[in-house]
Amino acid sequence: MKCFVGIDLGSTTTKAVVLGSDGAILGRGITNSRSNYDLAAKVAREEAFITARFGLLRQKVEEAAGPQLLDHLLKAFRLSQTLAQLHRLRQLVADEIERTVADHLSAGALAAINEIFDATETEEEAWFADDDPEPRSDFFRDAAGSAYMRYAEEIADPDGVSFDLLVGLYDKCIIRVENEPLELGFRHHINSALQRIGDPAEVDSAVQAARDAELEEEKTVGTGYGRARLPFPKEQIRSEILCHGLGAHTLFPGTRTVLDIGGQDTKAIQVDGNGIVTSFQMNDRCAAGCGRYLGYIADEMNIGLHELGPLAQKSTRYVKINSTCTVFAGAELRERLSLGENREDILAGLHRAIILRAMSLLARSGGIDEEFTFTGGVARNPAAVKALRQLCDETYGARTLNISADSIFTGALGAALFAHREVRA
Amino acid sequence: MAAEKASWVHKDRSMELQKKMIARHFERLERAPRCGEPVVYTFVPGNLTELIRSFGALPVLPEINALQSGMRGKSKDYIAAAERAGHSEDVCTYVKCDIGMLKSGNIGPTGTKLPDPDLLLLSYTGCYTFMKWFELLREEYNCPTVFLQVPYQGDGRLAPEHREYITDQIRKDLIPALEQVTGRSYDEDLLRHHLGLAAETEDHLVAVLESAKNRPSPIDAYFGGVYYVGPIFSAFRGTEEGVEYYKELRSEVEARVAAGLGPITPDGPLNDQRFRLVVEGPPNWTSFREFWRMFSEEHAVVVASTYTKVGGTYDFGFRHDPDDPLGTMADYCGGCYTNLNLPSRIDMLVTYIRDYEADGFLINSVKSCNSFSAGQLMMLREVEKRTGIPGAFIESDLVDPRYFSAANIKNRIESYLQMLAARAGAA
């Protein structure tokens, strides 16, 4: 099967979308952007092909064994990938101890990290067994890091193997794991996943077909801030503004205005009936009020990025925030807390401030048309969406606001569509 | 990557000429106090170089010094020096660069010391910052100052009474002040001579700028254009050297037209021109070549720009007129680009887009330069409406390197050009 791939190398995350020859979405993949952009693109692409193969499996497995089995298989597959990465991380930390930790501490450090990794693996197995697990980050770095820190804090000894020593080992080795090409593809982990769920015979032929399916990459187009680093010729690179415009148009054909809030920039885009950009505005050199700002706020509050929106949703009022400067995010937050404001109301104010900034760009780009689409990572945040709805109503009146559950992939989708269009043209 | 590319080295004779002219001028300025040559500091918009020359005085243009310091990598330290002296981050960076240079020994961009002014001459007051700038310099130098009040063209034209008002000030305030600081009498015949030479240089410059109507355009009317206007905007309008330079430049450009060649860019000749653009606003000077490359790498050539008209809108017909020396200087002061009202500036952009058959237009907005940036978004919308062509909007600064975000600007330019290509493909 001929495929068309779009890769969006963003400042925070790298996304990939695979389209079939008919232009339908086969798979999506995402990973955290890292110092090695080439590898980030490779991982996102591989993930997209994994979901594409699971997509090929879905109908047949559902017919043969019902919808739950495939979800179970996918979860087992994710567990297999995670355990492989944990195994590699454990090896690297052990090597690091041998190389760098003083002799009188090395045995203790080795015992500590074995205890941490054993506990983390057990936790992963429990996650797999849990029918309704808590939501968590999609990225290995976040999930592994969170467990490692918790267990390290529990077992650290200030007079021996200290918390700082354990954290230092993790920090060094997680970067190495992320930047080496581990085998995490479909063919490497599907057997182990099947074993874990008891090798159900009724899906054998479907799995075999998905494993053997030839997904031939006909053309790839890259976009995003790191696009210049992608190993493609210039003709295969598109601006993310065009990609978000085309992606949003494809998801919601009535779209005429697109707002994309990404990690380090915000873009207000107007498109015509064919998804071609007619006008755009984006933030200037300062990344105030972009996704990275929310990241800093989450760090300051010591909570996950995905928890910010729901927490802000609990507010009863919003605190007026004037500055969305990322550098001063922490100071702004602490000052408001010191004035006695509660966290929920401050967060509601912060989300409103971000959207106010986006509203200015929207106005400059030509306003909000009848139907508009919110894309990018921040569109996943319910408090940002709520503030956008309110401000849009106040400024422009009733408008149709579209948000796709896969809004973060809009740029990659647009890139894949460009690849598809060019070959078909 | 752009930064790793070797720069294309090609020097036309006109470039060599310009380099020598500027070097000689600065050497002469350094000697001026010893030789008894008076020095007048003045600004590009509305500059009265012919009058200054007719008194045997030498002009110094602080904003040209500032931009040259920006191009030579010196502005960062000068701006820091000015900020240490209490100038805010939001102040026009030309001002801070100049003040910082002064505080650092007043060594000009070519490495020679600049003389103190004998007179500060502000002949265009539309830029409020210029007034404050010279107030600051007056504090430093304690020298005579002449501020000509130049009415804004709010109605899109310079009314006869406005012209008379400026002429009166030149006659009653400026000429006596020049007589006093130079010790010479006003010599109208000599002034007419300089004005005649000015008109001649203006004819040549217009021919050069209008050559961009050709396909391929033999010049880049923004990045190359700022070099082309250098002599006429600074010390050399109304001089024999100026005429010689522009004759040479014109013949080189005409030769490129005859050969069907494009301009020389930092990466070599740009003959394959995929986008013809009009640009509004000043360039960024600290990353000038990098900025230029963002266009030339995409095969985009600028065919007309408004920034190259800050020292005169000659392509719309103005010429210095030796037969009406004071009146022509009044017209010139009132007619500089930033003294035009917004509808006139919009008309100019629309005319350029039409006459030069541009595919698009781009505004480089400099926040610290209100003379240019106030109203630019409104202009953008209006030009889009009247031409049906979408515009691009980018933001940078004049000479503060901190305010040039290469990734952001490149992203906008690439997006814009891809948008134009997509529109053209869909049409």
A310-322 residue pLDDT tens: 999 999 998 887 7
Q: Are B56 and B331 in contact (CB under 8 A)?
A: no
Q: Are B363 and B277 in contact (CB under 8 A)?
A: no
- Identity (one letter) of the amino acid at A21? S
Query: Quick check: A285 pLDDT over 70?
Result: no
Query: Quick check: B5 pLDDT over 70?
Result: no
Q: Distance from first CA to last CA of chain B, Å, rounded?
A: 33
Q: Are A85 and A157 in contact (CB under 8 A)?
A: no
Give the pLDDT score at A139: 84
Q: Do you know the residue count of chain B? A: 427
Taking the Cβ of residue B3 and every Cβ of chain A, the question of whether any pair is shorter than 8 Å is answered with no
The answer to whether B415 contacts A285, with C-beta atoms less than 8 Å apart, is no
Q: How far is CA B281 from the centre of its chain?
A: 10
* Strand, helix or coil for residue B362: strand
Residue A280: its chain B contacts at CB < 8 A? 415-416, 419
Return the structure tokens found at B39.
Answer: 């020095």
Give the pLDDT score at B427: 56
Residue, of B427 and B218, whose pLDDT is higher:
B218
Bridge partners, A9 (sequence order): A14
Query: Cα(A349)–Cα(A386) distance, rounded to whole angstroms?
Result: 12
* Strand, helix or coil for residue A336: helix
Query: Cα(A205)–Cα(A198) distance, rounded to whole angstroms?
Result: 15
**Confidence band (pLDDT; 50, 70, 90) for B90?**
confident
Bridge partners, A260 (sequence order): A267, A375
Distance from CA of A232 to the nearest CA of B (A): 14
Taking the Cβ of residue B427 and every Cβ of chain A, the question of whether any pair is shorter than 8 Å is answered with no
Query: Quick check: A409 pLDDT over 60?
Result: yes
Q: Which of B90, B274, B408, B423 to mutate to test the interface with A (most CBs of A within 10 A)?
A: B408
- Identity (one letter) of the amino acid at A235? E
Q: Are residues B173 and B282 in the same domain?
A: no
Q: Are A219 and B397 in contact (CB under 8 A)?
A: no
Residue in B with minimal Cα distance to A284? B395
- Residue B133: half-sphere exposure toward Cβ, Cα within 13 Å: 28
Cα distances from B310 to residues B43, B63, B208, B340, in angstroms, run 10, 12, 16, 10
Q: Are A259 and A44 in contact (CB under 8 A)?
A: no
**C-alpha radius of gyration, chain A, whole number:** 23
Q: Are residues B123 and B241 in the same domain?
A: no
The answer to whether B405 contacts A285, with C-beta atoms less than 8 Å apart, is yes
Domain that holds residue B58: 2-186
Q: Are residues B86 and B37 in the same domain?
A: yes
State pLDDT tens for residues B137-195: 999 999 999 999 999 998 999 999 999 999 999 999 999 999 999 999 999 999 999 99
**Confidence band (pLDDT; 50, 70, 90) for A124?**
very high
Q: Where are the alpha helices (DSSP H) in B170-310?
A: 175-182, 188-210, 225-228, 230-233, 240-259, 288-296
Query: Cα(A278)–Cα(A272) distance, rounded to whole angstroms?
Result: 7
The answer to whether A242 contacts B393, with C-beta atoms less than 8 Å apart, is no
Q: For the whole model, what pTM was predicted?
A: 0.84
Query: Cα(B325)–Cα(A103) distance, rounded to whole angstroms?
Result: 91
Q: What is the CATH number of the domain that holds B64?
A: 3.40.50.11890
**Confidence band (pLDDT; 50, 70, 90) for B3?**
very low
Residue A238: its chain B contacts at CB < 8 A? 418
Residue B419: its chain A contacts at CB < 8 A? 239, 241-242, 276-278, 280
Q: Are residues B106 and B225 in the same domain?
A: no
Q: Which of B376, B412, B420 to mutate to test the interface with A (most CBs of A within 10 A)?
A: B412
Kindly report the three-state secondary structure assignment for every residue of B101-157: HHHCCCECCCCCECCCCCEEEECCCCCHHHHHHHHHHHHHHCCCEEECCCCCECCCC
Between B377, B407, B422, which is nearest A242 by CB?
Answer: B422
Quickly count: other Cβ atoms within 10 Å of residue A393's Cβ: 12
Beta strands A216-223; A2-9: pairing state: parallel
Query: Cα(B200)–Cα(B94) distance, rounded to whole angstroms?
Result: 30
Query: Quick check: B335 pLDDT over 60?
Result: yes
Q: Are residues B170 and B66 in the same domain?
A: yes
Distance from CA of A278 to the nearest CA of B (A): 6
Give the pLDDT score at B4: 45
Average pLDDT over every residue of A380-394: 94
- Identity (one letter) of the amino acid at B218? P
Taking the Cβ of residue B403 and every Cβ of chain A, the question of whether any pair is shorter than 8 Å is answered with yes
Residue B427: its chain A contacts at CB < 8 A? none
Cα distances from B28 to residues A228, B31, B53, B279, B380, in angstroms, run 48, 5, 14, 35, 43
Return the structure tokens found at A302.
Answer: 């010591």
Q: Are residues B25 and B171 in the same domain?
A: yes
Q: Are residues B328 and B420 in the same domain?
A: yes
Distance from CA of A162 to the nearest CA of B (A): 42
Residue A285: its chain B contacts at CB < 8 A? 395, 403-405, 408
The answer to whether B419 contacts A282, with C-beta atoms less than 8 Å apart, is no
Residue in A with minimal Cα distance to B414? A239
Beta strands B145-147; B119-122: pairing state: parallel
Distance from CA of B396 to the nearest CA of A (A): 8
State pLDDT tens for residues B289-305: 999 999 999 999 999 99
Upstream peptide bond of B216 is cis (omega within 30 degrees of 0): yes
Return the structure tokens found at A66.
Answer: 């019902």
Residue A240: its chain B contacts at CB < 8 A? 411, 415
Average pLDDT over every residue of B367-382: 89
The answer to whether B411 contacts A242, with C-beta atoms less than 8 Å apart, is no
The least confident of A59-73, A104-118, B23-37, B320-334 is A59-73
Q: Are residues B261 and B394 in the same domain?
A: yes
Q: Are residues B265 and B409 in the same domain?
A: yes
Q: Distance from first CA to last CA of chain A, Å, rounded?
A: 19
Distance from CA of A239 to the nearest CA of B (A): 5
Average pLDDT over every residue of A233-241: 86
Query: Cα(B158)–Cα(B95) distance, rounded to whole angstroms?
Result: 28
State pLDDT tens for residues A178-191: 888 788 889 999 99
Taking the Cβ of residue B415 and every Cβ of chain A, the question of whether any pair is shorter than 8 Å is answered with yes
**Confidence band (pLDDT; 50, 70, 90) for A286?**
low
Query: Quick check: B322 pLDDT over 50?
Result: yes
Distance from CA of B276 to the nearest CA of A (A): 18
State pLDDT tens for residues B162-173: 999 999 999 999
**Confidence band (pLDDT; 50, 70, 90) for B7?**
low
Selection from A217, A256, A236, A219 nearest residue A368 by Cα: A256
Interfacial residues of A (vs B; Cβ cutoff 8 Å): 225, 228, 238-242, 265, 274, 276-285, 364, 366
**Confidence band (pLDDT; 50, 70, 90) for B421?**
very high
State pLDDT tens for residues A133-147: 877 777 888 888 888
Q: Are A31 and A40 in contact (CB under 8 A)?
A: yes
Where among B186, B211, B229 does a domain terminate?
B186
Where among B186, B213, B244 does a domain terminate?
B186
Residue in A with minimal Cα distance to B364? A284
Residue A284: its chain B contacts at CB < 8 A? 395, 405, 408
Q: Are B248 and B13 in contact (CB under 8 A)?
A: yes
Residue B380: in which H helix or E strand, if any? Answer: helix B376-387
Quickly count: other Cβ atoms within 10 Å of residue B89's Cβ: 12
Q: What are phi and psi of B72, to 5 degrees?
A: -95, 10
Where among B154, B186, B218 does a domain terminate?
B186
Give the pLDDT score at A264: 78
State how many domains chain B has.
2
For the CA atoms of A75, A80, A86, A92, the dihedral, rounded to the nearest 10 degrees, stands at: -150
Selection from B194, B208, B278, B285 nearest residue B240 by Cα: B194
DSSP A102: -
State pLDDT tens for residues A157-214: 988 999 999 999 999 999 899 888 788 889 999 999 999 999 888 888 888 888 898 9
What is the DSSP secondary-structure string of A248-309?
A: HHHHSTT--EEEEE-SS-EEEEEE-TTS-EEEEEE--S--TTSHHHHHHHHHHHTS-HHHHH
Output b/e per residue, B261-283; b: 16+ Cβ within 10 A: bbbbbbbeebeebebbbbbbbbb
Residue, of B268 and A256, whose pLDDT is higher:
A256
Query: Cα(A268)–Cα(B320) distance, rounded to whole angstroms?
Result: 46
Q: Are residues B306 and B178 in the same domain?
A: no
Distance from CA of A136 to the nearest CA of B (A): 32
Residue A282: its chain B contacts at CB < 8 A? 408, 411-412
Query: Cα(B299)–Cα(B290) distance, rounded to whole angstroms?
Result: 14
Q: Which of A221, A280, A284, A360 to mutate to test the interface with B (most CBs of B within 10 A)?
A: A284
Residue in B with minimal Cα distance to A280? B392
Give the pLDDT score at A180: 83
Q: Which of B90, B377, B411 to mutate to test the interface with A (most CBs of A within 10 A)?
A: B411
Give the pLDDT score at B47: 95
Query: Quick check: B426 pLDDT over 70?
Result: no
Quickly count: other Cβ atoms within 10 Å of residue A25's Cβ: 20
Q: What angle (nearest 5°) sits at the alpha carbon of residue A139, between those of residues A134 and A142? A: 75
> How many inter-chain contacts (A to B, CB under 8 Å) are there?
53
Residue B404: its chain A contacts at CB < 8 A? 285
Give the pLDDT score at A424: 67
Between A238, A284, A285, which is nearest B418 by CB?
Answer: A238
Q: Are residues B117 and B198 in the same domain?
A: no
Taking the Cβ of residue B390 and every Cβ of chain A, the question of whether any pair is shorter than 8 Å is answered with yes
Query: Quick check: B261 pLDDT over 90?
Result: yes
The answer to whether A242 contacts B1, with C-beta atoms less than 8 Å apart, is no
Q: Which domains does chain A have, with CATH numbers?
A: 253-403 (3.30.420.40)
Q: Are B413 and B297 in contact (CB under 8 A)?
A: no
Taking the Cβ of residue B424 and every Cβ of chain A, the question of whether any pair is shorter than 8 Å is answered with no
Q: Are residues B166 and B202 in the same domain?
A: no
Average pLDDT over every residue of A255-261: 95
